[in-house]
Structure 1
Amino acid sequence: MYWPCSVPQIFAYHGSSALAAHQAEEAEAGHEEGSREDVEKNDSTDDDSNAIVDLQAARHDHLFATISPFRLDLWSTRPLVVLASLSRSSKSLETYGKNLGVAFKPDGSTLVIRTAGAYLMLYSVESDQTARVLQQQYGYSQAKRQNVMRSFGTDETAGVPEVLLRFRRAIKIDAGINSINALDSEIIVATTKPAAVQCIRWDLQKDGSNAVAQLLNRMDWITQKSSISTMIHDRAMNLSVWLSQDGHAYAVQRMKPQLTRAPSSDESVPSSKGSTNPSTRLFDGYCFHKPESPSGATFASINARFSLIAVATSSGEIICYSAKDYAGNIPLSHTFRASTSPSSRGAITCLIWSPDGYCLFVGYKHGWCTWSVFGKEGASTFHQNLTHAESNAEKWLLAVQRATWIGAGGEILLTTPYDSRIWKLEMSRSAAMGCFSCANLVRALLQTPTELTVYRGHELPDLTSISNEASLWHHAEYPHVYLHNQWPIKSCVVSQDGRYVAIAGRRGLAHYSLQSGRWKTFSDLSVESSFAVRGGMCWFNHVLAVATENTSGYDLRLYSRELELGRFPLHNEAFSMPIVFVGPSGEDSLLVYTYENILYHYILNITDRGAQLVQVGQIAFHGIVRAPSRVRSVSWVVPDSQLRNGDPSRDVEFASVLFLVDDKLVLLQASRNEKDELKYDMRVVAQHVEYYILMRDQIYFNFSTGLDESAPPTPSPGSAFTLRSQQNYSLRDSLWIFNGDELRLWPDVRDLFHHAAGDLNTSPVLSMSIDFYPLSILLTKGVVLGIESELLQRRDVNFAQFRSSIRTQLFLPYILRHQLCEANDTPAAFGLANQYQNLSYFPHALEILLHNVLDDEVDRKPTLRDKEEDEAQGPLPAVLSFLQLVLPPTTYLSTVVQCIRKTELSSWRTLFAHLPPPLTLFEQALELEDLKTAGGYLIVLQGLEEGNDESESYDARKFEGYVIRLMKLARQKGDFELCAELARFMMGIDPRGDALRRVIIGVGFRNKPTLLEPTRTVSGAGTLQIPRSRSKGTEESSEGSSSPSPVRLSPVSGGDYFSNSPGGY
């Protein structure tokens, strides 16, 4: 998932002064033709002639183009500067019309502009390496500059090469232009009248056959013959999506050109006339979205990583379809459900997936928001302070016109209506998006365009680890030289113990130690640039395993953190095909999956002389996994007996393999056929999987003793379990899956292997709904960790910024409830409770468990017929019995009363149907001298009595005896705060105060002088008289005094502020 961070940067180019004057003349001349409302403009922006109308980035991510009605600007993404600007003349505008849209040829060599006069204007993009458009100047000598270059490895004075825009040709489309699509060899144009599609080649052909066309009414797969309004294309999937003006959406593929033979010649030329003959069929497609008013398709975006197509409708809804094949099998996948109303969002204005497919950015008329791939809502601007944003001219919060991702998804560029500014917003994302690794998820590694962030709460005390303190995150900026040479950073990976982190950009790699705070990079830039990381990375202690691609082929390399990065790694294992995934398994096993559809098993042997990889087995999945390139992750589960005592070369015979293919988690379970041959039975465990965590692979948490918690273990009946039995009921073999809506858990992944093939309905899976995006599972803390972006708008600054804050949720109540109420596995519940009973918030987790079960019991009660069976076997009695066994008596009583006081009064009777009367629990709390808990049961008792008493008058005398007993004990222990609470309780029962007076007398607060109400009297003569104590408060203390009425001063008030003495005397 992606989270916006920091403050956006603003960029704008206004052109030269002469150009500005020219634009002013054009704007004045065209003023009579039409104008926009002034309320949609801002004083800080330029007029409409400078406003950006379209924004497009090149596929190679180094250039992007913006157009205004009169100008074309070509920008560099790093640094973000204007490389070239082309201003159109008045004659050009009169002949061809204003600019409406821009598109890049996929190789970035040509730009095409669509104009209002139905023209396509082609410009070539040429680079001049001898000239510089941006060059830094230094005030020191050449020798000093060379010294800086040697020290930092880069020469900033090299600058940015100049780019030239050259006009090539203009193409007139007589039928009008609705939309264009730029492909490798041609431009696809959707025309207005007649409704047709033209294919125009980029380069003119010698025979003049540079364009072919086909009418829509000749395409039998188009249901409604309205014209095409929007076309998009994805090069990775080789798939286009067409949106018609009536709201239909079509998945389209370009057919290979069919050649027809001329009657009088042997030469073959493409047909330029559209027909339904197979020889001249240009496109083939299928309708996958049929609108139901008012849900016509307006925008679309293709996600090649997950084979998804997102469609935005006119009603503001976003529907996602799954493209399973090219034969029209495109079913509905899911729908993005917004938390705000359609009226507050407005119409959708743009829709674009991130390059890795994990995030969907949606621009609206009144703001924008982000979504995870399967529907978890992320950051949004709909909860902003509208007045603050308008006063500071922060239009990026108010509306979005165009958006495009740059920097491999690390940054996003935004433009707003009627504005010449470009807003660049940095994004923070989970490192598991670029390098799928369970360590990245468990350790909560985040990467931004300039730094990485690691969560450090695993080693901290329990309460500190879930706080929102900034010290919980370790920030490390990327080495500047490496970032300059190899931008952008594409992947990061952290070691399981959280000590080391490795990063990889376009070429090479670098690694970092969190303990020393030092980076290590290649000293030789040529060695660094000789390879690229492709297929992932992982750590084994201090050894880094890297899948690389270089000029000589593909290999797996080992580097040591303790050695310098150089030309020769510790070990080099060559492969004939690219590596898809590399990941650890267990203490010393390494899994490598390649494009050959083969899974290799290696043992890592680390010695004093170095490290080496020893292949001990391999599995071929030919015919099982159809597309190796779609595999995102591979894990396997080997039986414990084989791990401890078996031969590693035979692990492949016993292993059950988990493949994450696109969004499907697939289980391949090994078995033997009749001929004693090894075969694999395949089952789909889950769909819509954004990520999964197999805790068995997290050695740092499963095989280490861990740190002691702040609180000592609490004795309970569950402590009778031995350490070995506790491990049997722990979560060391748990499997966690997030599907975009909820977090799903198998407490023991081995349970998947014991069920019949294809039948996972009886598998012990439980679900947890979460209102934030789960970033990590803190297994030792019993917590799901997540972050969310918060928009900060302060009055003392004129800008807004996004800040990430920690969100947590306990997963222990959900697992215990599953084991007690659904799986009926009480021993497992006791074993799990023993694992977490040292946590300071363990009673709170059980309170949540009781609260959830009670709420469901109240909702379920009216529909239950057999009350006797319910009382004997219901979930509520089981949970209450469990709490009574695992908690000490004082903690049990406190947990129950806290749960009662946080629920509605109508639920109390349901709970007390399985508990002793409140008076009995009150007496038990008094016996245990837990006065605060006893006071809580007094409130519960009063609430139940008040609910039973239907008369208007209420007798408070029935509680006076209980209050007096409790207040006496509180007085003896010096707990006057509890005395004050009991006094307020009595005043709530009897507002006149009669009951409280009787209680005070009964407790004995007025029997002897106390500090509760001391009295001092200052006479008019200036003498101090201290009166006698009054037992009933009715005697006077001013005998024999003829001075005016005395004035009482409280000793705690500090006396007279104008006196020198502390008491004011």
Structure 2
Amino acid sequence: MYWPVSTPRVFTLPPIPTDESTTAAGISAPDSSPSGDATEHIITVKSSRNGLLFGVITRISLYVYQNRPVCPVAVAVRSESSLQTYGDNVNLLIRPDNVMFVVQTSLGYFLTYALSGSSRERVAKLSFDSTADIPYVLPGPGEEQGVREENVRFRMVIKVDAGIESAIALEDELLVLTSTPPAAQLIRWAPDARGGPQTRTELLSHMEWFNLRERITSVIFEKAMGLFGWISSNGKAWAVVKNNTVSSSSEKPSKMKLFSGYCFHSPQKGPIPATAAERRKSMDESEFVLKIAINSRFSLIGVGTVGGTIHIYNVKDYSGHIPLLRDIKSPFPSFGKVTVVAWSPDGYSLFAGYERGWALYSVYGKLVAHSMLPEDGRLQHEAWLSGVQDAMWMSNGGDILVVPNDSNELWSIELARWSLSGSYNWDNLARTLLFTNEKLMLYRGQDQSDLTTISHEAILWQDVAIPYAYLAENWPIQQACISGDGRYLAIAGKRGLGHYSIYSGRWKFFVSEHMESEFSVHGGMLWFENILIACVNTDRNTHEIRAYSRERELDHSLVLHVQQIPSSIILVSLVGDSLLVYTYNNILYQFVIFSNAFQFNLELVGQISFAGIVHAPARVRAINWILPEEQSKHGNPVHDISLATIVFLIDGKLVALYPLHNEGDLKYDMKVLFQNVEYYTIVTKGLLKNSIWAFDGTSVVVWLEDMLNLSKSDSVPEPIRIAIDFYPLSFLFEKGIIIGIESNLIHRRNVSFTYSTNTTRTHLFIHQLLSYYLSSSQENEALKVAKSFKHLEYFGHALEMMLHDVLDEEADHPPAPDQAILPRVIKFLNKFPEMLDVIAGCTRKTEVASWHVLFDVVGSPKELFERCMSLGQLKTAGGYLLILHTMEQLEDSSTDMIRLFSAAVETGDWDLCKELARFLTALDDSGNTLREALRRVKLVNGVSSSVESPFEKEFLLAADAHNAQTNGRNGD
């Protein structure tokens, strides 16, 4: 997940070169060219596949930019004659190998430009005196290599007589969707060595699965899935694959079956009418698709519509099984149409651009940031908040580059990334760690007092700057992790790794650049006590698990342990002393860790293949297991893998494998626990041990049942749903809260710009667990949960929230008497000394119309008042007096008020006396009631039954003031 931070950077297109040395046919700007127009707006921005370069086009020019440092490295400017002959620039295509940039024009041409340069040559590079204590200039993240030398040269013009609707550049071919006639045309970049045709064409009308007289207005391609996304002119979205057929040169073009596809989204509502006119009338225009994007990491397709809704579909197979998962409504109706849909590189986030704003969502649709300000930021002319024409992800997800409407500027929004998305381990879930391009952001609330943890004002975040020496060479940071005790951090960039101690404040990196550049972290990192375990791929094409001690220098000669693995590692997980390693060969390895002060060793004790269970290992995002209690405490680790219930997350599907032992063979019963899961965790200790907690993009789902003992015939129990209005990041089980962050845009009157901040949010979940147990008649379990949280300072508040939720539900939807939960809740509350406070507090925060529902079960508030008086809970008794008055069961001269007043005086509770005095004054504007009460408790003429009151004068003056005010009004 990602959150905007700080203030965006702005890059303005540089002036177009007009010197004669750049003049060449069709690509330069002579004196008569329109290049002198400084108002040329950006049409689109496109990133290369490897992310090192991106291209920008305006109506007349092509700019090639380097990602880090962000700067233009080449430009091609078209002449006036070129514009008249071929038309204006309208779209940009980049071949996957980055050597060919293709500009589509308005008159049906492709202008191809070859990009050439040396990976070693630099036209600019920062340098400084390394002996200086403080150099004047330090290279920023990824800027060590300087600015590469690149040249862009015009290559050829490709004319498409049938007209161009849309196109995309593939490795070997250029796919063109034509308009007259509507067809799909594949044009090879180079002649086929096997003698195949240079161009292959299939008419859309000949595609049996298409069967429409429509055009394809937009096309995208996702290489990892081999899947195309098409948008047709009637607003439909199609999932398309290219057929793996080799056509001979003699085969007729009309016989070629180049593509197969399926329509998965249609604005057509209800049965399809017979005539074209009726079909057009039955279309829901708000459901017309404008943009489409494919998420290969989660097997999803997102489509943005005219009405501002983004529909998320799940690609289950390529034969048409693409169901709708979720609809993401525009956060504000004023945002208008969707203009951009772009998934983050890791698939965990979705950026949506609109006509008049933008929003950032989690993979399954949780809104985490948007551009709407409480006060209109457009008054400051900040274009990045007012609408998006185009956008793209940069820096491995570290930035989003936004092109505002009708602008010649590029706005780079820096993002903070959640460490879990890069290194999925349980410590990263237990302790929240974010990282940006330049620093780590650590949440320290776990280590604070209960009330400080839930405070919104407390400063609970610690920033740790990443040394520029490492960032300059190894940016972007791809992974970060934290130890279970919060003492150590680790990062891994493009090459090497480094670790940090919170208490000493010291970083450690490799002593040699050669050692650092020899490997890259792939598969994750985690801490075992003070030992960093990292999964790496080396330059020798080997795959290893390495263990580094925090106490030693980072040096290959000082590594604690190296474990060779046959295949590249996908993920690693720590369960107790067992290290679970899952690899691309679809095998799960179990290593047992043996560690002491003198040595560290990994011993392989078991492995199991998931062949036939997991069909695409790369789609597994997390893995864990639950052991039977006896095996966990006393069993031989060799038997763990055959006894464990394995829980893993594949795409968004949470799956449990239950071991079945049949005649010595180990098999598994697979149960799908839940769909659309963004992440999950299993509690490893305490009362909630072995419970499973997950987040599905809308709410936290929890299984408290013993998931370990589900039989083959048992259905998966329904989870508890905990609704939450922010993105959850960590579960603090010992404190009973969920923490997360909420993004905010801040605009102050004394500055001319807007910036992003993130606020810590908390959600108490204790009351929802108690409600669940009580609703299922498990009072003993509810008592166990309550006792485990009883020490918390806000435990009474949790009980009050439970009562409030149940009361509201039963007041709005009265249940049958035998199904009512409220009596069970009241019976449960009677077991706690906070009961009287809980009922009084809940009543004050509930609508008066619902009070009778509560007191029909609890009993008369007068009885509760008497209980408070007998227990000496005077402040709570005052609350019940207010309730009695509101229910018109208390007379102005009530002796109960005098009793309470007298008791407050006796105990010296002058704050309560003040509150009672104000209450009596509100009852009687004349002040007589207050005077009478003061006399009856002997707080008059300086006499008190037991104590001297410093507040008598204040009370009497208040009464006189009210009396005078009343008399004055009567006189008027």
Question: Using the alignment, how far apart are the partners of 1:400 and 1:501 within structure 2?
Answer: 37
> How far 1:649 moved relative to its partner?
0.9
Contact 1:257/1:270 (8 A) holds in 2? no
Contact 1:48/1:418 (8 A) holds in 2? no
> How far 1:47 moved relative to its partner?
5.1
Equivalent of 1:600 in 589, 601, 611: 589
> How far 1:9 moved relative to its partner?
0.5
Determine whether 1:692 maps to 2:666.
no
Contact 2:737/2:763 (8 A) holds in 1? yes
SS of the residue corresponding to residue 655 of structure 2 reads strand
Instruction: Between 918-927 and 930-939, report the one with greater CA deviation.
Output: 918-927
Letter of the structure 2 residue corresponding to residue 977 of structure 1:
D
Question: Using the alignment, how far apart are the partners of 1:353 and 1:758 within structure 2?
Answer: 39
1:555-574 matches, cutoff 5 A: 555-568=544-557, 569-574=559-564
Residue 161 of structure 1 aligns with which residue? 148
> How far 1:258 moved relative to its partner?
2.2
> How far 1:383 moved relative to its partner?
3.6
Contact 1:218/1:274 (8 A) holds in 2? no
SS of the residue corresponding to residue 246 of structure 1 reads coil
Larger Cα-atom Rg: 1
> How far 1:22 moved relative to its partner?
6.8
Structure 1: segments with no counterpart, 5+ residues: 30-45, 261-268, 697-701, 703-726, 947-954, 1016-1028, 1035-1065
Question: Using the alignment, how far apart are the partners of 2:142 and 2:718 within structure 1?
Answer: 60
Question: Using the alignment, how far apart are the partners of 1:509 and 1:417 within structure 2?
Answer: 41
Equivalent of 1:740 in 676, 697, 718: 697
> How far 1:846 moved relative to its partner?
0.4
Determine whether 1:939 maps to 2:895.
no
Contact 1:405/1:413 (8 A) holds in 2? yes
Residue 755 of structure 1 aligns with which residue? 710
Determine whether 1:1002 maps to 2:936.
yes
Question: Using the alignment, how far apart are the partners of 1:122 and 1:61 within structure 2?
Answer: 20
1:902-917 matches, cutoff 5 A: 902-917=845-860
Residue 900 of structure 1 aligns with which residue? 843
Letter of the structure 1 residue corresponding to residue 260 of structure 2:
D
Question: Using the alignment, how far apart are the partners of 1:384 and 1:860 within structure 2?
Answer: 36
> How far 1:956 moved relative to its partner?
4.0
> How far 1:479 moved relative to its partner?
2.1
Letter of the structure 1 residue corresponding to residue 294 of structure 2:
I
SS of the residue corresponding to residue 651 of structure 1 reads helix
SS of the residue corresponding to residue 6 of structure 1 reads coil
Letter of the structure 2 residue corresponding to residue 671 of structure 1:
L
Contact 1:434/1:492 (8 A) holds in 2? yes
Equivalent of 1:830 in 783, 788, 797: 783
Contact 1:354/1:409 (8 A) holds in 2? yes
Equivalent of 1:405 in 370, 381, 393: 393
Residue 358 of structure 2 aligns with which residue? 368
Letter of the structure 1 residue corresponding to residue 572 of structure 2:
V
Residue 754 of structure 2 aligns with which residue? 800
Instruction: Between 839-848 and 614-623, report the one with greater CA deviation.
Output: 614-623
Pair 1:245–1:930, CA change in 2 (3 A): same
Letter of the structure 2 residue corresponding to residue 679 of structure 1:
K
Letter of the structure 2 residue corresponding to residue 694 of structure 1:
I
Determine whether 1:457 maps to 2:400.
no
SS of the residue corresponding to residue 805 of structure 2 reads helix
Residue 839 of structure 1 aligns with which residue? 792
Residue 517 of structure 1 aligns with which residue? 505
Question: Using the alignment, how far apart are the partners of 1:927 and 1:208 within structure 2?
Answer: 98
> How far 1:194 moved relative to its partner?
1.4
> How far 1:758 moved relative to its partner?
6.0
Equivalent of 1:812 in 746, 756, 766: 766
Contact 1:345/1:382 (8 A) holds in 2? no
Determine whether 1:977 maps to 2:911.
yes
Pair 1:137–1:821, CA change in 2 (3 A): closer
Contact 2:391/2:401 (8 A) holds in 1? yes
Letter of the structure 2 residue corresponding to residue 364 of structure 1:
Y
Question: Using the alignment, how far apart are the partners of 1:988 and 1:956 within structure 2?
Answer: 14
Equivalent of 1:619 in 603, 608, 632: 608
Letter of the structure 2 residue corresponding to residue 981 of structure 1:
E
> How far 1:148 moved relative to its partner?
7.7
1:639-678 matches, cutoff 5 A: 639-673=628-662, 675-678=663-666
Determine whether 1:258 maps to 2:246.
yes
Pair 1:758–1:522, CA change in 2 (3 A): farther
SS of the residue corresponding to residue 452 of structure 2 reads helix
Instruction: Between 973-982 and 72-81, report the one with greater CA deviation.
Output: 973-982
Question: Using the alignment, how far apart are the partners of 1:156 and 1:199 within structure 2?
Answer: 39
Contact 1:63/1:74 (8 A) holds in 2? yes
Please report the TM-score for the alignment, with normalisation by the length of structure 1: 0.83
Pair 1:473–1:620, CA change in 2 (3 A): same
Residue 196 of structure 1 aligns with which residue? 183
Residue 333 of structure 1 aligns with which residue? 325
Instruction: Between 919-928 and 799-808, report the one with greater CA deviation.
Output: 919-928
Structure 2: segments with no counterpart, 5+ residues: 21-27, 269-283, 944-948, 962-972
> How far 1:459 moved relative to its partner?
1.6
Equivalent of 1:314 in 287, 306, 311: 306
Letter of the structure 1 residue corresponding to residue 113 of structure 2:
Y
Equivalent of 1:957 in 892, 895, 915: 892
> How far 1:144 moved relative to its partner?
4.7
Residue 5 of structure 2 aligns with which residue? 5
SS of the residue corresponding to residue 374 of structure 1 reads coil
Determine whether 1:111 maps to 2:68.
no
- Number of equivalenced pairs: 928
Contact 1:685/1:760 (8 A) holds in 2? no
SS of the residue corresponding to residue 230 of structure 2 reads strand
Instruction: Between 617-626 and 846-855, report the one with greater CA deviation.
Output: 617-626
Contact 2:144/2:473 (8 A) holds in 1? no
Pair 1:215–1:911, CA change in 2 (3 A): same
> How far 1:641 moved relative to its partner?
1.0
Equivalent of 1:79 in 57, 62, 69: 69
Contact 2:96/2:169 (8 A) holds in 1? yes
1:212-361 matches, cutoff 5 A: 212-260=200-248, 269=249, 271=251, 274-275=253-254, 277=255, 280-292=256-268, 293-294=284-285, 295-340=287-332, 342=333, 344-361=334-351
Contact 2:95/2:170 (8 A) holds in 1? yes
> How far 1:621 moved relative to its partner?
2.0
Equivalent of 2:406 in 413, 418, 443: 418
> How far 1:391 moved relative to its partner?
3.2
Identity %: 39
Residue 854 of structure 1 aligns with which residue? 807
> How far 1:753 moved relative to its partner?
3.1
Alpha-carbon displacement from aligned partner over 1:231-275 (angstroms, at most 9, x marks no partner): 011011110010001011111111234223xxxxxxxx275x542
SS of the residue corresponding to residue 939 of structure 2 reads coil
Contact 1:846/1:895 (8 A) holds in 2? yes
Please report the TM-score for the alignment, with normalisation by the length of structure 2: 0.91
Pair 1:909–1:442, CA change in 2 (3 A): same
Pair 1:1014–1:511, CA change in 2 (3 A): closer
Question: Using the alignment, how far apart are the partners of 1:439 and 1:408 within structure 2?
Answer: 23
Question: Using the alignment, how far apart are the partners of 1:792 and 1:379 within structure 2?
Answer: 12
Pair 1:881–1:232, CA change in 2 (3 A): same
Pair 1:331–1:57, CA change in 2 (3 A): same
Pair 1:508–1:221, CA change in 2 (3 A): same
Cα RMSD over matched residues? 2.8
Residue 101 of structure 1 aligns with which residue? 91
Pair 1:1014–1:811, CA change in 2 (3 A): closer
Contact 1:656/1:669 (8 A) holds in 2? yes
Letter of the structure 2 residue corresponding to residue 642 of structure 1:
Q
Residue 271 of structure 2 aligns with which residue? none
Contact 1:956/1:990 (8 A) holds in 2? no
